[in-house]
């Protein structure tokens, strides 16, 4: 069975040394969020993940969810783990105090999410979806709905879902057919079929609060005519108690490649009673509240998988004796050397490590800015933080989920045949990670979001939220000897990438297919640059800390890992830039019938 230890040292390094998360405690409402508070909560969270969630991950995969007569049963131990989770108050960590939450920073939730997903991605889906639904109701629902539903969602007694996809439409929600007919009493009658609904039915909670996209009778066509409805599994009485069963029923669950302990449901809404959330026909806006948070959360799932995959690949590489170092025996007293002596095994490990740690830094950067966007007293600061988060959302989602999948595969590769069999539990990471590249908008859709929405936004203003601090860092540190080996080359690459961005913006203005054809290469290139910036920040901090004798090896490891990143990972950006320059013709030039 795989092992896992939460990377608390790395998290503390990022929170305290690289980003100074203590500034969050200065924001109104976050006064309690001191570094000490962060540390003790993370330690508790780590324990929960290591001791409660990890032990039921592999068994949950093997057993899977079962479905019979509309009832979904989660695997053995999930109900108990969910109770431990909710009773520990983890569900409401960053939920509003008004509804019973602890009102702590979203950043803290980010780090918890990573750990939960390292330990048990399937489990993480249940609170994860609830959290998204909570957010949409809190931001867009009327006070009555909030008071009726949110407190029990915060305790975890009730859960939430997001019902978007239908059999004939996923990405293109303008095509949805689910109907909402006003019943005259302020409620609506909802009918239609939704598919791929995570946690649509389960045996963990007393009630399930579905958020459903549907069309009103007079709705304009396409995405401008979609509204969002709250549809509970059981109607809720005025006293808050459970009432009649509503017409929202699970028709079946999917057999999937992975996340088998997460129930993926076909949901049939048959004259189910629902209530409008937000403004009629503006459901997409409310949905994007959930979606943007969900995209970041999915990115963190990828990060979580990458971390646990690395840990298990590493431990195998240190234990497995096979062959000898290329320069001769490293441990002549053993029958063979551990495979970590081999350059190609190290290449795989360092690829995992350098991207995972860079991505964790990115998670902290985004999480902090999300908190600043939410709580800062200065409107301009809030706006700027929001723009950075908006820019980095598609990057976080695609980069981290692609990396989660890649890292899981590298762990399998290091373990060879043992990686491929079920017993060692690493192939599960590959299967579980695979969905993260798809749901909440495929990574191709993330790339289109970056080049089609974020890039042109106010003539590149969002891009500059990244380009400016990065340029400033380069300028400030150009004569810093700590960066002599790294910075000149990075600065050149950074310069070239900005020019490519300009080129793309120009070309795309004339022909949107130019943006489309370059999107994935651009997102990947941008991601590598962002990771590079994260590594620059970490190198600077680690250099300053090297004298600190007690943790010296931690900082040395950071510096060596950075060397690898700049020498062996970043160069991919050059191929990506060449692909972008090649334009859309090689992609669009072939008529569909020639495929």
Q: Which is nearer to a copy of itself, 64 or 156 (CB)?
A: 64
Does residue 567 touch a copy of itself according to CB under 8 A? yes
Cβ atoms of residues 527 and 471 within 8 Å: no
Residue 275 — φ and ψ, nearest 5°?
Answer: -125, 140
Q: Least distance from C-beta 215 to a copy of itself, angstroms? A: 14
Does residue 434 touch a copy of itself according to CB under 8 A? yes
Q: Least distance from C-beta 261 to a copy of itself, angstroms? A: 15
User: Judged by CB under 8 A, which of 8, 219, 235, 438 binds a copy of itself?
Assistant: 438
Q: Which is nearer to a copy of itself, 476 or 556 (CB)?
A: 556
CA-based nearest residue to 243, from 206, 197, 205: 206
Query: What is the spatial distance between Cα 100 and Cα 38, in angstroms, rounded to a whole number?
Result: 20
How many alpha carbons fall within 13 Å on the CB side of residue 329?
7
Q: Which is nearer to a copy of itself, 281 or 561 (CB)?
A: 561
Q: Could you say which residues in the range 540-559 bind a copy of itself, by CB under 8 A? A: 553, 556-557
Cβ atoms of residues 72 and 263 within 8 Å: yes
Does residue 568 touch a copy of itself according to CB under 8 A? yes
Q: Least distance from C-beta 84 to a copy of itself, angstroms? A: 29
Cβ atoms of residues 455 and 462 within 8 Å: yes
SS3 call for 369: helix
SS3 call for 377: coil
Distances in Å between the Cα of 501 and the Cα atoms of 399, 455, 581 are 18, 9, 10
Q: Least distance from C-beta 595 to a copy of itself, angstroms? A: 6
Query: In the structure encoding, which two tokens stand for residue 79, read together?
Result: 């109900």
Cβ atoms of residues 455 and 501 within 8 Å: yes
Query: In the structure encoding, which two tokens stand for residue 515, read together?
Result: 């943006």
User: Judged by CB under 8 A, which of 157, 203, 457, 563 binds a copy of itself?
Assistant: 563
Query: What is the spatial distance between Cα 79 and Cα 123, in angstroms, rounded to a whole number?
Result: 10
Q: Least distance from C-beta 336 to a copy of itself, angstroms? A: 6
Does residue 335 touch a copy of itself according to CB under 8 A? yes
Q: Could you say which residues in the range 340-359 bind a copy of itself, by CB under 8 A? A: 340-350, 353
Does residue 326 touch a copy of itself according to CB under 8 A? yes
Does residue 195 touch a copy of itself according to CB under 8 A? yes
Query: In the structure encoding, which two tokens stand for residue 314, read together?
Result: 């590493």
Distances in Å between the Cα of 315 and the Cα atoms of 308, 310, 331 are 11, 8, 17
If one counts every other C-beta atom within 10 angstroms of the C-beta of residue 586, the result is: 10
264-276: buried (b, 16+ CB within 10 Å) or exposed (e) per residue? bbbbbbeebbbbb
- Count of residues of this chain found to bind a copy of itself when the rule CB under 8 A is applied: 101
Cβ atoms of residues 215 and 176 within 8 Å: yes
Does residue 439 touch a copy of itself according to CB under 8 A? yes
Interaction pattern, residues 499-538, with a copy of itself; x per rule: CB under 8 A: ------------xxx-xxx-xx------------------
Q: Could you say which residues in the range 412-431 bind a copy of itself, by CB under 8 A? A: 412-413, 416-417, 419-423, 427, 430-431
Q: Which is nearer to a copy of itself, 210 or 375 (CB)?
A: 210
Q: Could you say which residues in the range 266-325 bind a copy of itself, by CB under 8 A? A: 314, 317-318, 321-323, 325
Q: Which is nearer to a copy of itself, 131 or 576 (CB)?
A: 576
Query: What is the spatial distance between Cα 190 and Cα 216, in angstroms, rounded to a whole number?
Result: 9
Q: Could you say which residues in the range 447-486 bind a copy of itself, by CB under 8 A? A: 447-448
CA-based nearest residue to 228, from 137, 310, 291: 137
Does residue 587 touch a copy of itself according to CB under 8 A? yes
Q: Which is nearer to a copy of itself, 71 or 175 (CB)?
A: 175
For β-strands 158-163 and 207-214, DSSP reports them as parallel
Does residue 59 touch a copy of itself according to CB under 8 A? no
Which residues are marked as active site? 440
Name the helix (H) or strand (E) containing 462. helix 461-476
Q: Which is nearer to a copy of itself, 239 or 593 (CB)?
A: 593
Does residue 184 touch a copy of itself according to CB under 8 A? no
Q: Least distance from C-beta 264 to a copy of itself, angstroms? A: 8
Does residue 334 touch a copy of itself according to CB under 8 A? no
Does residue 327 touch a copy of itself according to CB under 8 A? yes
């Amino acid at each position: 069975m795989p092992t896992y230890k939460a990377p608390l040292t790395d998290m503390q390094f990022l929170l305290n040394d690289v980003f100074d998360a203590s500034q969050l405690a200065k924001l109104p409402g976050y006064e309690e969020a001191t570094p000490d508070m962060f540390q003790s909560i993370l330690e508790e969270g780590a324990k929960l993940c290591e001791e409660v969630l990890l032990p039921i991950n592999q068994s949950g995969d093997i057993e899977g969810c079962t479905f019979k007569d509309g009832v979904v049963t989660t695997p053995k131990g999930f109900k108990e783990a969910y109770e431990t989770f909710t009773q520990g108050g983890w569900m409401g960590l960053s939920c509003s105090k008004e509804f019973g939450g602890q009102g702590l920073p979203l950043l803290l939730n980010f780090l918890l999410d990573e750990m939960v997903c390292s330990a048990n991605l399937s489990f993480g889906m249940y609170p994860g979806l609830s959290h998204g639904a909570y957010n949409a109701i809190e931001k867009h629902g009327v006070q009555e709905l909030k008071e009726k539903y949110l407190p029990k969602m915060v305790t975890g007694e009730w859960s939430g879902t997001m019902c978007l996809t239908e059999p004939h439409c996923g990405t293109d929600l303008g095509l949805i057919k689910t109907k909402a007919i006003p019943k005259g009493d302020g409620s609506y009658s909802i009918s239609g079929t939704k598919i791929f609904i995570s946690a649509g039915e389960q045996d963990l909670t007393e009630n399930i609060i579905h958020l459903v996209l549907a069309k009103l009778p007079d709705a304009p066509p396409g995405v401008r005519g979609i509204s969002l409805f709250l549809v509970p599994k059981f109607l809720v009485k005025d006293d808050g108690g459970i009432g009649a069963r509503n017409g929202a029923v699970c028709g079946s669950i999917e057999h999937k490649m992975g996340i088998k302990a997460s129930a993926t449901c076909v949901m049939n809404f048959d004259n189910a009673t629902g209530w409008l959330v937000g403004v009629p026909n503006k459901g997409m806006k409310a949905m994007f509240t959930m979606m943007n948070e969900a995209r970041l959360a999915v990115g963190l799932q990828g990060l979580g998988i990458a971390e646990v995959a690395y840990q298990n690949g590493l431990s195998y590489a240190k234990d497995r004796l096979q062959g000898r170092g290329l320069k001769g025996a490293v441990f002549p007293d053993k029958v063979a050397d551990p495979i970590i002596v081999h350059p190609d095994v190290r290449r795989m490990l360092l690829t995992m490590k350098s991207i995972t740690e860079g991505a964790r830094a990115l998670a902290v950067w985004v999480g902090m800015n999300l908190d600043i966007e939410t709580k800062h007293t200065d409107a301009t600061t809030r706006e700027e933080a929001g723009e950075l988060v908006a820019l980095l959302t598609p990057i976080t989602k695609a980069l981290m989920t692609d990396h989660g999948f890649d890292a899981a595969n590298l762990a399998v590769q290091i373990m060879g045949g043992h990686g491929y069999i079920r017993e060692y539990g690493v192939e599960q990471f590959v299967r579980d990670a695979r969905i993260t590249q798809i749901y909440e908008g495929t990574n191709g859709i993330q790339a289109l979001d970056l080049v089609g929405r974020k890039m042109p936004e106010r003539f590149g203003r969002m891009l500059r939220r990244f380009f400016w601090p990065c340029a400033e860092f380069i300028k400030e540190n150009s004569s810093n000897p700590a960066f002599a080996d790294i910075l000149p080359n990075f600065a050149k690459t950074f310069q070239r990438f900005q020019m490519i961005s300009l080129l793309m913006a120009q070309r795309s203005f004339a022909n949107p297919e130019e943006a489309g054809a370059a999107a994935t290469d651009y997102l990947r290139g941008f991601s590598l640059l962002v990771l590079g910036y994260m590594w620059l920040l970490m190198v600077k901090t680690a250099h300053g800390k090297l004298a600190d004798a007690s943790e010296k090896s931690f900082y040395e490891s950071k510096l060596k890992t950075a060397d690898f990143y700049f020498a062996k990972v970043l160069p991919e950006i050059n191929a990506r830039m060449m692909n972008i320059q090649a334009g859309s013709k090689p992609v669009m030039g072939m008529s569909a019938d020639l495929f």
